Structure 1
Amino acid sequence: MSASTKNVIRKKGRPSTGTDPMLAGRVPSHMIKAIEDWARENGVTRSEAMRRLIAKGLEGSIKSGV
């Protein structure tokens, strides 16, 4: 078979949007608002804000020895 007549098997569903694993969880609405406010003040998306805030929290816990 030539390359133009090969049957291509496609995966069902939405294609991947990134290479990192996804992390999901439930967050109270007041906390989402605080994250969105922080994101807006810092000019980043909500996802990026969550990544940065988690990183800050982890840095703080490492420094304090928790």
Structure 2
Amino acid sequence: MTEQEKTITEKRRGRPATGLGTLIGVRLQPDLLAWVDAERAKLDPAPSRPEFIRQLIEAAKG
């Protein structure tokens, strides 16, 4: 087999990277998380937690 014929694909765990943006992990205290969940539940359809937080940031940005 030549080098071109060899195809090795490594299976990575987790969601595939989009290559867009920077991942920021944020921990929320239970009271703040409860507020986030209550506010996003008011929307139809309810966005995911990350999407709701993105919407809050966009609204605050102006």
* TM-score class, shorter: 0.5 to 0.7
Deviations, residues 1-60 of structure 1 (Å, cap 9, x unaligned): 48xx5231315432425433221122211111111111111121211111111222222x
Q: TM-score, normalised by structure 1?
A: 0.61
Structure-2 separation of matches of 1:36 and 1:14? 24
Structure 1 residues 3-42: aligned runs within 5 Å: 6-10=6-10, 12-16=12-16, 18=18, 19-42=20-43
User: Where does structure 2 lack aligned partners over 5 or more consecutive residues?
Assistant: none
How many pairs are equivalent?
Answer: 57
Instruction: Give the RMSD, CA atoms, in angstroms.
Output: 2.4
Identity of aligned residues (%): 16
Structure 1 residues 44-59: aligned runs within 5 Å: 44-59=47-62
Flag the 1:15–1:6 CA change in 2: closer, same or farther, 3 A: farther
Runs of 4 or more, structure 1, over 6 Å off, are none
Structure-1 separation of matches of 2:52 and 2:15? 24
User: Where does structure 1 lack aligned partners over 5 or more consecutive residues?
Assistant: 60-66
Give the helix-richer structure, 1 or 2: 1
